[in-house]
Amino acid sequence: MSPASDLLAQTLAQPDFHPRLPQQRRLYEAAKAAIHQQLLGAGNKLPSSRDLARDLGISRNTVIAAFEQLGVEGYVTSALGSGTYVADLQAHSASMRGGFHPQQDGAGEDGAEVAPLSRRGQELTVFAAGPRYEIQPFAPGDADFSSFPFKLWQRLQNRVWREARADLLDYGQSGGYLPLRQAITEYLRISRSVKVSVEQVMVTAGTQHSLDLCAQLLADPGDTAWVEDPCYWGARRVFQANDLLLHPITVDGDGMALEPADLATNPRLIYVTPSHQYPTGAVMSLARRRELLDVALTKNAWILEDDYDSEFRYTGRPLAALQGLDTGDRVVYMGTFSKVLYPGIKIGYVVAPPQLVDAFKSALYDLQRPGQLMVQAALADFIALGHFTTHIRKIRQIYGARREMLRRTLVHQLGTHAHGVTISSEESGLHLVVELPAHVDDVALEKLAAESGIQVKALSNYYLAPPVRRGLLVGYAYCTPEKIAYYGRLLASVILSGVRR
């Protein structure tokens, strides 16, 4: 038995080492821990999948699956015919690496003076996100909640109401309904590698509420928030509403790319979507994740990790959360059920670092008076009885097929790189990005598509700094195969008309 096999065997033999996880996941966690502790150093060659399977007494497929996940997350590298080696986690990228115009005050139709909004109010309302996000073919970010198991959900809610528990009619005073917090804790441990106890989990009214809570508790007006550029519009609005100064940081294929000019500033908050950057779809590399954690610790900043759609990864396992790498307790992790179940459920959650738990629970109750405990109780049952996992599996299959159909339709009409158009290939999320040549006006194309009843979004509108990329966000989740075939061809003709001008 090789030294690496012996090390992993000893770890797996420990009775308290993730006893409830599948064997594949236990092997992955054992190898990851050994790499972080430098027991398996950079450049070390790992045993072949066949040899390791024999040494550990497990199937070769289990070893291969664990190796693939380690490779996806950057812990190991593989070379055909050479083997699998531990990656150098200390290696960083060689290069380290606004807004909307407020409306003017005016008069109403009858000539009466309109009460002026504050500057903040003008900034918040000029974008008019609501009407733009009306559900139409290819609207990005919209989930198909028609696939939700309505009758099952109704039975669960009816059962909760029949119990006639008076305590469920009160405000939530302890961070949310305890069985739901327990279910979330177990789910995050297993599916997202989040380091979490039940006490750290607080139920909120969704991601916007979670971000607002963080902004109010962790930053003061005038403080700086680093945000990805391009950036999720909802996060920008929350930070602007709390009078924070937004500092945009360029996103490339490896996620947020810090430059010396960025490092010269001192953020209080750092907002990231590392597992699937919104809107570009980039996955933050392991080196960038470690760099960001180091920067947050050095600058005494808080990282707000928005893990909004991790369930929708169509090949392989979901990537581990950034929070799972955090050894300095600087990450506030947040997620939502609105994408997986239905938007109107308005239930999300925050995982606060241990030192912030009491403050978050106090503020959640004092500022928001959270409720909806009846709905939380039904959701707890939905998860505990296995319906949540079944539902995720079902819609992941549906969305994956729709994604592939949309991509095939667009590629057939546009070509892979024809006319300078590139169609994103990442197999996750709820939308594709059709990247356009720099000379194309994507905002004009968005409007042209809207005239044909297609609700795509211009990539350039998500930038705070001058946009460096042009493109269209094309959603596929809330679109039947028939509509994808028809509107896909229609969208392709719109794109070609814009590119050829």
Average pLDDT over residues 474-478: 90
φ/ψ (deg, to 5) at 210: -60, -45
Q: With 60 as the cut, is the pLDDT of residue 421 above it?
A: yes
Specify the range with the lowest mean pLDDT, choosing from 10-24, 31-45, 129-143, 306-320. Answer: 129-143
| Choice among 290-299, 392-401, 414-423 with the minimum mean pLDDT | 414-423
C-alpha 386, offset from chain centre: 23
Residue range 3-86, CATH number: 1.10.10.10
Half-sphere exposure of 255 (CA within 13 A, CB side): 20
Residue-wise pLDDT for 224-275, tens only, equals 999 999 999 999 999 999 999 999 999 999 999 999 999 999 999 999 999 9
- In the chain, % helix, strand, coil (3-state, to 5) comes to 45, 15, 40
| CA separation for the pair 101, 210 (Å, rounded) | 27
Whole-number pLDDT of residue 298: 97
Q: What pLDDT is stored for residue 92 in this prediction?
A: 44
pLDDT-wise least confident of 125-139, 183-197, 413-427, 430-444? 125-139
| Helical spans, DSSP H, in 415-480 | 442-451
Q: Is residue 427 scored above 90 in pLDDT?
A: no
Digit-coded pLDDT (tens) for 360-382 = 999 998 887 777 889 999 999 99
State how far Cα 87 lies from the chain centre. 25
Residue 191 or 227, more confident: 227
Q: Which residues pair with 249 in a beta bridge?
A: 228
> What count of Cα atoms within 13 Å lies in the side-chain half-sphere of residue 497?
12
Q: What is the pLDDT of residue 416?
A: 63
CATH-assigned architecture of domain 148-387:
3-Layer(aba) Sandwich (3.40)
Q: Which burial class, exposed, middle or buried, applies to 369 when counting CB atoms under 10 A from its CB (0-12, 13-18, 19+)?
A: exposed
Q: How far apart are CA 30 and CA 36, in angstroms?
A: 10
Task: Please choose, from the candidates 405, 443, 440, the residue with its C-alpha nearest in 3D space to the C-alpha of residue 421.
Answer: 440
Whether the pLDDT of residue 105 is over 70: the answer is no
Per-residue pLDDT at 452: 86
Q: How far is CA 435 from CA 233, 293, 452, 470, in A?
A: 19, 30, 20, 6
DSSP category for residue 459:
G
* Cβ atoms within 10 Å of 16's Cβ, excluding its own: 5
| Upstream peptide bond of 230 is cis (omega within 30 degrees of 0) | yes
* 27-37: pLDDT as tens digits: 999 999 999 88
| Lateral strand order in the sheet of 201-204 | 201-204, 348-351, 331-336, 302-306, 269-272, 224-229, 245-252, 255-256
What is the structure's pLDDT at 418? 66
Q: What is the pLDDT of residues 42-89, one digit of tens each?
A: 888 999 999 999 999 999 999 998 998 898 888 999 877 788 999 887
Percent of the chain with pLDDT over 70: 91
Radius of gyration of the chain (CA): 24
Bridge partner list, 204? 348
CA dihedral sign of residues 73, 79, 82, 88: negative
Q: What is the pTM of this model?
A: 0.82
- The SS3 call for residue 451 is helix
Mean pLDDT of 327-351: 94
Q: How far is CA 6 from the centre of its chain?
A: 37
Asked whether the predicted pLDDT for residue 109 surpasses 90, the reply is no
What is the rounded average pLDDT of the residues 286-306? 97
Q: Is the pLDDT of residue 131 over 50?
A: no
Residue 97 pLDDT exceeds 50:
no
> At residue 389, does pLDDT exceed 90?
yes
Check residue 103 and give its pLDDT: 45
Strand ranges inside 74-118, DSSP E: 76-79, 83-86
Q: Kindly report, residue by residue over 209-230, the tens digit of the pLDDT.
A: 999 999 999 999 999 999 999 9
> Is pLDDT above 90 for 472?
yes
Class of domain 129-145+390-499: alpha beta
CA–CA separation, 444 and 431 (whole Å): 20
Tell me which of 115 and 309 has the higher pLDDT. Answer: 309
Helix H or strand E segment including 389:
helix 387-414
Give domain limits for the chain: 3-86, 129-145+390-499, 148-387
Mean pLDDT score across all residues of the chain: 88
